[in-house]
Amino acid sequence: MDPRSPVAVAASPEPGALPNLAGPRRERPPEERRALRLGLAGVVLAFLTLATLHVLTVRPFLPADERAHTGYALLVGRGELPTLSTPTPPLPGIPTPFGQRLRLYTANHPPLYYALVAAPLRLGEATRHPLVGVAAARLLTALLAGAGLVAAAGLALVLLPGRPQLAVGAAGIAALLPSFVHLSALVHNDALGFTTATATLAAAALLLVRGPNRGLLAALALAAAAAALTRASGLVLVAVAVLAAGLTPMLHSRRPVAARLAVGTLQAGLVGGVAAAASGWFYLRNRALYGDLGGTAANFRLFGLRPRGSTTLDVLGTRRFWTGVYDQLWGRFADMQFLAKGTLALPGRLLAALVVAGLVLGAAKAARSRRSADAAERPALAGGRLAAWLLTLAVVPMLVVALADYVAQGGGTHARYLYPGLAMLGLVAATGLGALPGHRRGLPILAVLAGQVVLNLLLWATFLSRTTPGHPSLAAAVEQGVRATIGLPAWPVVSAAALLLAAALAMCASALSVLAAGEGERGPG
């Protein structure tokens, strides 16, 4: 019998494993660890502050899909799993807004998110304060998204352990994307979809980099199962998790190839089996009820949507698709109202230009210094870490192709369908900014985060103005929005938010300065 503790046994690598290709785990200096925690706390604080403004001021069910998501959760709380033909349950004392569909067209989504938010909604219903229940469900959704931001920072640290400022930058850029802030403050399942997907990517990358580990394998299986139980896009994450589990023994073991294949197949089967056991029943139910695993065709018929007469490749080849998706990330809010028009689209496009310039500059610097690179890092780059990079990055094009296929079938160009890859998009953006002049003090990333905060506030006020009868000025819209929902004048709410946002940016600035200085002393790795 093994005398070690169960934890030690679970954490031990398989017999015959190679030494960790990524090298020994470097213990970060205390100052760096404190800076990482400070920077990530600043990112989460800024995100939750902005999201709370939306929670408190966006009228319930003004976003058209929120009533359907809320109705689904209420029924799950009552022990009922709805179908696409189930009527939307009413909330006591709250009329159904004009023009909103009365069927639960969200019922083709898996139930994990709805099971989580059912408790606050049911509590609000039971206490005859349904709007309080909706606000609590919104806040819970924002907190779930906040957990995903922590996972995004962890993923960045696994992929680029020597560039901790990029972990803060990646989480921050993802967190402060205006459409993500808005949707994470509503009763929508996209926030949990981001969190479960990012947790799966982080666990997969960590397993590939560190090598065989029973605890990590279990965490990967659970994260993938949660992703599949949240949205159909989670099936892409299950595929990534299965591949990561299967590849790990091939990269880290001295055993014969046949033995490594056997272990890899067993691990892949375990991860896939857990995900199938957790969510397979729901997708089989969809297929039985609607004819396909995602219930997409039936939902299209419900909305009267038909194929556009173009193929997926046709959609991918249009400039309108790419610019529409990208601009939408920067300001498409409720009721499909497109706010990122004209000058409001410029910040997103400016960031894209800066990121591309930084990536080109960084690639040129890397090419010049390649010969002087530490040879000890090359096996790691060629092994686990390279595999982790390729596998996690591949999620983004897979999601883009899936979105283009959805559009070709007649669906809308919903950029939120890319949220499962948002952590990788944020990391790519932070990597580009981290190669620009001033990066040794973290200035490019800080400037972008500050700009995103300002843009979020502008879009929030603009949204309130456009959705308030009479379309008042921005200041008047904010005043009316705050008073209508929480019965207080706007100035204390806005002042408190401004102080919290200033504190969050100060925390990020301090952290980025420390982390960037540390990178400069030892060089990026």
Strand, coil or helix: what is 189?
coil
pTM over 0.75: yes
CA distance 223 to 246: 16
Q: Chain centroid to CA 108: how far?
A: 21
Q: Please state which of the ranges 19-33, 144-158, 171-185, 195-209 shows the lowest mean pLDDT.
A: 19-33
Average of per-residue pLDDT across 390-402: 96
Q: Is the predicted pLDDT of residue 9 greater than 60, yes or no?
A: no
Q: For residue 369, what are the contacts with CB-CB under 8 A and spacing of at least 6? A: none
Average of per-residue pLDDT across 469-495: 83
More confident residue, 317 or 15: 317
DSSP assignment string, 412-451 = ---GGGGGGGHHHHHHHHHHHHTTSTTGGGTHHHHHHHHH
pLDDT for 215-253, tens place per residue? 999 999 999 999 999 999 999 999 999 999 999 999 988
The DSSP element (H or E) to which 518 belongs, if any, is: helix 490-522
CA distance 366 to 83: 54
Helices (H), 161-212: 164-175, 178-183, 190-210
Cα dihedral 272, 277, 231, 82 in deg (nearest 10)? 160
Tokens of 278: 């957790």
CA distance 185 to 71: 17
The DSSP element (H or E) to which 259 belongs, if any, is: helix 257-290
Strand, coil or helix: what is 338?
strand
Q: Is the predicted pLDDT of residue 333 greater than 70, yes or no?
A: no
Average of per-residue pLDDT across 427-445: 93
Q: Please state which of the ranges 370-379, 475-484, 491-500 shows the lowest mean pLDDT.
A: 370-379
Q: What is the mean pLDDT of the chain?
A: 87
Q: For residue 225, what are the contacts with CB-CB under 8 A and spacing of at least 6? A: 238, 274, 275, 277, 278, 279
- Identify the band that residue 294 occupies on the pLDDT scale cut at 50, 70 and 90: very high
Q: What is the pLDDT of residue 339?
A: 56
Q: Is the predicted pLDDT of residue 381 greater than 70, yes or no?
A: no
Q: What is the pLDDT of residue 96?
A: 62
Among residues 456, 469, 467, 466, the alpha carbon closest in space to that of 497 is found at 456
Neighbours of 494 (CB within 10 A): 17
- Identify the band that residue 158 occupies on the pLDDT scale cut at 50, 70 and 90: very high
Average of per-residue pLDDT across 184-200: 97
Distances in Å between the alpha carbon of 203 and those of 84, 267, 319, 333? 34, 14, 35, 31
Q: Please state which of the ranges 63-67, 340-344, 415-419 shows the lowest mean pLDDT.
A: 340-344
Q: What is the pLDDT of residue 523?
A: 53
Q: Is the predicted pLDDT of residue 17 greater than 50, yes or no?
A: no
Distances in Å between the alpha carbon of 116 and those of 74, 92, 103, 110, 255? 11, 21, 21, 12, 44
CA distance 378 to 49: 42
DSSP assignment string, 465-489 = HHTSTT---HHHHHHHHHHHHHSS-
- Identify the band that residue 6 occupies on the pLDDT scale cut at 50, 70 and 90: very low
> Roughly how many angstroms between the first and final C-alpha of the chain, as a whole number?
41
